[in-house]
Amino acid sequence: MAHTKPEDRQLPGLLILNANFVLLWAAYGVSAIGDHLSEMAMLHLLGGIDRPDVTRLQALLTFGFFLPFPFLGPIAGWWADRFSRRVTMVVADLLRAGIVLNMGVIVVWILNTAKDQHWHESWHDLALLVPIMTVGALAAFFSPARQALLPTLIREDHLVRANAMTNALGMIGTIISALLGGYLVQRAIAGTFSLSWSFRLDAITFVISAALLSMINLRRAKPAPATKSQGVMGPILNGIAYVADHRRVWRLILLGAVYWAAAGAVISIIPALVRDIFGGAYQEAGLYRGLIGVGLVIGSIVMTVVGPTASLQLRVLSGLLGGAFWLAALCAASVFKLGKIFSALTLIGIGGAGAAIIVSVFATLQQIVPNSRRGRVFGVSDTVTMTALLIATGLLGLPNIPNLDRYVPWIILIQVALFLAALVVAWRAYRRGQTLPPITWLTLHLTRFYARFWCRMRRDGHCTIPISGPVIVAANHTAGVDPMCLIAASPHRLISFLVAEEHYRKPIANYFMRMVNCVPIDRANPGKSFLVGSLGVLKQGGCFGIFPQGTFETPDAETPDAKAGVGLLALRSGATVIPCHIGGTTYRDSPFLGLFLRHRVRLKFGPPVDLADFAGKHKDRGARTAAADRIMDAIERLAPPADSQME
């Protein structure tokens, strides 16, 4: 009997058809509601939104919830690699349900004790953090188990979309919890509901999450990591050493730390912003906090669409730049009282930028870290990222700073500086070892994104273009997007092309054409300008792209023959000739119109064309024609079967 690989057992196509993923996805969304549903009730019990130090109070609640993460992260990560990840999450949910269900009783007992023993208000606040910290400790075990389990349930090419969908649903849960929590407190103040309903509904969400997780069928998952007993400290230290030894891993973790530090600070200042700018109460505070979640949802949805086709560098840089921009806009809104709509847009923008960062971090770590170490790596990640959040919220919540809310604009500006510093560091890291000018490098990433997303370009097989030396890339010509797709499909070389002189002279087009060292052709005397320009590129060891037919292949028309010029160039230069077949484009007469149409481009590079028998015969017209025909034959042999072209 043939063995079936675990990957083959995954349901193909849409993630929504993968029952295991849907169960994990839904469970996380429901538990995200539970994480913060009773937070507004706690805020009310501690004095409410009218306290003059509400920023400190909100920061203290966030600080208490995430305080266990840095201490328990490595242990929780080891646990996720050593024991069942599904069972870990189910037990964590059930224990959280029990604690939250009794949270109201615990809080009342602490309040009565504080009143009887005349505790100082600061001790009173800190004592109420104990039950929150307990819930946070269980969340610390839930987190690495979930992040490590996700890649075992889906295909690797679905990681970005899966993380984006999970992040989006988690943020929807956070929005619901903020709105519902604020509504329940308002009703409790009005006497319609008991405040205890906040805690009861919170407990119900964790029970539902546990029920969903228990239905995950692990027999359809990829094999679990080995569970050899090696003690506790050995594997934990091994996980820390793995992160320290892998530059890409710890850089991603530090990037996540930047995000969480800013998130902690922004969440802490929202009640003060709502009170001072809008004169709002609990429900408005929940609404505007939820707007960050709306941005995260929108950003995550965008990531499900464009994320798999955009490079990690492009996603990270755009996320950091967007975060700095929207934080600066929020600062302006707080200083100049720019109103509800503008402030709401800034919060949504901050959330959208955060989605680009956090989805990229999670998806990349899940992709590059082996399953046997994944739990410990995410445990270390939780330790580092939550330490950053604790530093941000601790600096705001632990010291009793008089009139702290007056410094909200400065708190935001610090986050702007943090994002800009991270942007500079990321840019320098991504640019290290690059020989291309910065603008060319960035434009190349944007070109690849355009080709992969808009043109739906896919390269079949490996790129056979040599890393160095003069190269001619010869391809059939089907549409105006062909040059951009060839550039996008070549990971190691920047390809130059022939361009009509009238197009080359256009202001914006000229800038980009010079960037890739394109060769302008004088249509009145094409032969001379073609040969001089292309030989100049090849003599410098460049990579030159050429379409031997000289014009588009048109549907329902005879395929044009190859021009002898490509044979002359190949024999005269002695460059390596790499054939490439392009298919799947949508034909239009205008090359520029084709740039705006959707395509389903498929490229395939072939082995170098052997022209050794024509060596030294570049002056022989027959040899040039034969060489051109051989190159064109090599291109046509790369074409897929006729039935596959109809897909």
Quick one: pLDDT at residue 47?
64
Who has greater pLDDT, 194 or 611? Answer: 611
Give the dihedral sign, CA 464/470/476/477. Answer: positive
| Lowest mean pLDDT across 109-118, 151-160, 369-378, 463-472 | 109-118
| Lowest mean pLDDT across 115-119, 495-499, 632-636 | 115-119
Q: What is the mean pLDDT of residues 571-590?
A: 88
Who has greater pLDDT, 593 or 137? Answer: 137
CA–CA gap between residue 218 and residue 88 (Å, rounded): 14
Residue 107, number of CB atoms within 10 A of its CB: 23
Quick one: pLDDT at residue 55?
66
Band (pLDDT 50/70/90 cuts) for residue 12 is very low
Per DSSP, 577 falls in state: E
CB 363 within 8 A of CB 346: no
Question: What whole-number percentage of the chain has pLDDT above 70?
Answer: 84
**Residue among 11, 17, 142 nearest 76 (CA):** 142
Q: Give bridge partners of residue 543 from the DSSP assignment.
A: 471, 495
Q: What is the mean pLDDT of residues 429-439?
A: 87
CB 375 within 8 A of CB 148: yes
Quick one: pLDDT at residue 446?
92
Encoding tokens for residue 383? 């330790």
Quick one: pLDDT at residue 601?
93
Band (pLDDT 50/70/90 cuts) for residue 382 is confident
Q: What is the mean pLDDT of residues 551-579?
A: 80
Q: Is the pLDDT of residue 10 over 50?
A: no
Angle between helices 68-82 and 371-397 (to 10 degrees): 170
Band (pLDDT 50/70/90 cuts) for residue 40 is confident
Quick one: pLDDT at residue 124?
58
Residue ranges covered by each domain of the chain? 19-431, 438-646
Give the 3-state secondary structure of residue 497. strand
**Residue among 302, 346, 328, 389 nearest 70 (CA):** 389
CA–CA gap between residue 516 and residue 99 (Å, rounded): 62
Band (pLDDT 50/70/90 cuts) for residue 228 is low
| Lowest mean pLDDT across 361-365, 467-471, 502-506 | 502-506
Quick one: pLDDT at residue 582?
93
Quick one: pLDDT at residue 389?
84
Q: Is the pLDDT of residue 375 over 70?
A: yes
Quick one: pLDDT at residue 54?
63
- For 176-233, what is the HEC assignment? HHHHHHHHHHHHHHHCCCCCHHHHHHHHHHHHHHHHHHHCCCHHHCCCCCCCCCCCCH
Highest mean pLDDT among 404-408, 433-437, 632-636, 640-644: 632-636
Q: In 269-308, which positions are buried (b, 16+ CB within 10 angstroms) versus exposed (e)? A: bbbbbbbbbbebbbbbbbbbbbbbbbbbbbbbbbbbebbb
Encoding tokens for residue 508? 């914006």
Classify strands 495-500 and 602-605 as parallel, antiparallel or unpaired.
unpaired
Q: What is the mean pLDDT of residues 286-312?
A: 79
Highest mean pLDDT among 159-173, 350-364, 384-398: 350-364
Q: Is the pLDDT of residue 24 over 60?
A: yes
Residue with tokens 């549907």, as numbered in its chain: 555
Q: Is the pLDDT of residue 15 over 50?
A: yes
Quick one: pLDDT at residue 214?
92
CATH number belonging to domain 438-646: 3.40.1130.10
Give the 3-state secondary structure of residue 589. coil
Residue with tokens 């080995």, as numbered in its chain: 226
pLDDT tens column, 50-64? 666 666 676 777 778
Residue 263 CB partners (closer than 8 Å, separation 6+): 292, 354, 389
Band (pLDDT 50/70/90 cuts) for residue 591 is low
| Lowest mean pLDDT across 203-207, 216-220, 455-459, 587-591 | 587-591
Band (pLDDT 50/70/90 cuts) for residue 4 is very low
Mean pLDDT computed over every residue of the chain: 81
Who has greater pLDDT, 223 or 519? Answer: 519
Give the 3-state secondary structure of residue 402. coil
Q: What is the mean pLDDT of residues 554-561?
A: 64
Angle at 279 between CA 276 and CA 283, to 5 degrees: 115
Encoding tokens for residue 191? 């006497």
Q: Is the pLDDT of residue 624 over 60?
A: yes
Band (pLDDT 50/70/90 cuts) for residue 222 is low
Quick one: pLDDT at residue 475?
93
Who has greater pLDDT, 546 or 433? Answer: 546
Q: In 603-632, which positions are buried (b, 16+ CB within 10 angstroms) versus exposed (e)? A: bbbbebbebeebeebbeeeebbbbbbbbbb
| Lowest mean pLDDT across 73-82, 272-281, 380-389, 529-538 | 272-281
Quick one: pLDDT at residue 647?
40
CA–CA gap between residue 352 and residue 329 (Å, rounded): 14
Band (pLDDT 50/70/90 cuts) for residue 371 is confident
Quick one: pLDDT at residue 89?
92
CA–CA gap between residue 338 and residue 178 (Å, rounded): 24
| Lowest mean pLDDT across 38-47, 367-376, 414-423 | 38-47
Q: Give bridge partners of residue 459 from the DSSP assignment.
A: 603
CA–CA gap between residue 84 and residue 78 (Å, rounded): 11
Quick one: pLDDT at residue 3?
35
User: How many H helices and E strands in the chain?
Assistant: 24, 7
Q: What is the mean pLDDT of residues 74-92?
A: 89
Q: What is the mean pLDDT of residues 579-601?
A: 83
User: Strand ranges (DSSP E) for 410-549?
Assistant: 458-459, 471-475, 495-500, 519-521, 543-546
CA–CA gap between residue 422 and residue 424 (Å, rounded): 5
> For domain 19-431, which CATH number applies: 1.20.1250.20, 3.10.20.740, 3.40.50.720, 1.20.1090.10?
1.20.1250.20
CA–CA gap between residue 414 and residue 420 (Å, rounded): 10
